[in-house]
Amino acid sequence: MRLQCLNQILDWKERDMGKVRPEHVKRLARKLIERFPDKFTTEFEHNKKRVDAFTNISSTKFRNRVAGYTIQLVREQIPENVE
């Protein structure tokens, strides 16, 4: 019984867990979207160049994480097509 409950909990976590991003990545991405809402799109390469142009981030990994999170923020702003 205990093993079955544990498997159910693990299955639930695998289905419902999202990507965990550090707060500093989210904060910077939100500020960039707030200041330049029309400059970001859902394309990663485009956003990567924009983050590079608007900030002085020296870390490639950090820049890429911010650019990736801006995609999620832009997608949240786009209204879904209602059929």
Cα–Cα distance for residue pair 26/13, rounded to 1 Å = 22
Residue 39 pLDDT more than 70? Answer: yes
**Is 70 within the bounds of a domain?**
yes
Per the model's pLDDT, the better-predicted residue between 76 and 10 turns out to be: 76
> Is the separation of the CB atoms in 77 and 36 below 8 Å?
no
Res 11: pLDDT: 54
Res 54: pLDDT: 95
Write phi, then psi, for 30 (nearest 5 degrees): -65, -40
Res 1: pLDDT: 46
**Is 11 within the bounds of a domain?**
no
**Is 48 within the bounds of a domain?**
yes
Write phi, then psi, for 21 (nearest 5 degrees): -120, 140
Res 27: pLDDT: 95
What is the distance between the terminal CA atoms of the chain, rounded to a whole angstrom?
45
Domain ranges, residue 58: 20-77
Instruction: Output the six-digit token pair for 21.
Output: 């991003």
